[in-house]
Amino acid sequence: MGLLPDLFTLTILINCFCNVGRVCDGFVVFGRILRWGSSPNVVTFTSVIKGLCLENRSMEAVELFKQMVVFGVRPNVITYETLINGLCRTRNTSIALRIHEEMGEQGFQPKVVMCNTMISGLCKEGKMEEANGYFELMIQRGLQPNVVAYNTMISEICKEGKMEETNGYLELMIQRGLQPNVVTYNSMISGLCEEGKMEEANGLSNEAKELLISMESNGCKPDGFVVFGRILRRGLRPNVVTFTCLIKGLCLENRSLEAMELFKKMAVFGVRPDTITYRTLIKGLCQTGNTSVALGLHEEMGASNGEGSVIFKPDIVSYGSIIDGLCKDGLVDKAKELVLEMKGRRIKPDVVVFNSLIYGWCFVGNLEEAKGLFVEMADQGLHPNLLMYNTMINGFCKEGKIEEANWLLKFMIQRGLEIREFYESLQGNDLKGN
């Protein structure tokens, strides 16, 4: 007669299945435990609850949690923490709070890590009032929120634009002997830049002044650099996120050339820009009419890709920004070259790129190229907007090409656009003989 595996062995097996995302297999083993007359213990239940939470099935995990009582099994700290973490990750913080209260009633003291999870979950759901209340409750119960908890609160408050409240958390953090890190300051810089607050950057180190010298000569003194100075004074090294936040702030205020100067200074700190840095700067340059500078940056990055340098991977966003800028400047041939480059990189043009090109060809009077793009868009299942149709129809009419205008009208109808909407959008455009 063969030996049946005991509860310990089966629980290990369940845990293995659940850890690798095979919860269904875990339940099969769980059923064997019951059929063989064994009683699952707290480790068995917790393993399955963990597996369900890893698959974002937290509500099923709650139901299993309730079944533990039926089997007379008392949850332990790990059970509670696992379930609360899963509920927060799936944005079920209201239930997580109830489970948390039950945990306290059972005499279990939550750990700081679990409290951070609660704060993070509440913040992600936009429940800042509850997050703030929970934060204060932690302190009242003698729990010291750690840097992660403070950073989470500061980050979300910055997104709401409440910078004075953010400073309060920063000061409280320092008073309690916690050291703010780059993540802390990155959030603050981002918030300040988003608000566009500008004032003199006081108290910066010599290294920071060297970084800002070219900007100060142009009267550029972002408030974000006050926080940048704090980073340096505390002996922290600014990273790519720090610089990207500042560059974004400058671009939002249409000061892209100053952002370009800051970009060049990143090397002073040994910081390499990433794709988000390039994308942000290229977009900002194009929006301020500095497309040639953006194009130079694009070409420079492509030429420098290789060993020992950052690998810049242009995407549809960066390409779209430059192509749009080139078309508005009438440099459609260059824009066409970039489209071919995109396709060579296996990046498919989207509606934004097509619309930019159609506008560009109409702008330089090459309506045949624009017409060809309409057909190409249709073949790819994309649809020009009404503005693009109107641009082309106006172009055909100005050149006396009424038949071409009629062709485009039929094309619109075939693509499902309402003729009434089309005529209303024309607002007096003279298109007779339809």
Q: What is the DSSP string of 180-224?
A: --HHHHHHHHHHHHHHT-B----S--HHHHHHHHHHHTTT--BTH
What does the domain layout of the chain look like in residue ranges?
1-108, 181-271
Residues 6 or more apart in contact with residue 22 via CB below 8 angstroms:
51
The rounded distance, in Å, linking the Cα atoms of 226 and 223 is 6
Question: Band of the pLDDT at 219, cuts 50, 70, 90?
Answer: very low
Report the chain's mean pLDDT, rounded to a whole number: 77
What pLDDT was estimated at residue 128?
Answer: 86
Q: What are phi and psi of 222, to 5 degrees?
A: -65, 140
Percent of the chain with pLDDT over 70: 78
Crossing angle of the two packed helices 93-105 and 58-70, in degrees rounded to 10? 30
Q: Mean pLDDT, to the nearest integer, of 88-109?
A: 87
What pLDDT was estimated at residue 231?
Answer: 67
pLDDT digit string, tens, across residues 360-381? 888 888 888 888 887 788 777 7
The rounded distance, in Å, linking the Cα atoms of 279 and 286 is 11
pLDDT digit string, tens, across residues 224-259? 666 666 666 667 778 888 888 888 888 887 888 888
pLDDT digit string, tens, across residues 273-315? 888 888 899 999 998 889 989 988 888 776 655 444 455 677 8
DSSP assignment of 16-39, as one string? Answer: HHHHTT-HHHHHHHHHHHHHTT--
What pLDDT was estimated at residue 426?
Answer: 47
Q: Point out the least confidently predicted range of 168-182, 355-369, 417-431.
A: 417-431
Please state the pTM of the whole predicted model.
0.53
Homologous superfamily (CATH) for 1-108: Tetratricopeptide repeat domain (1.25.40.10)
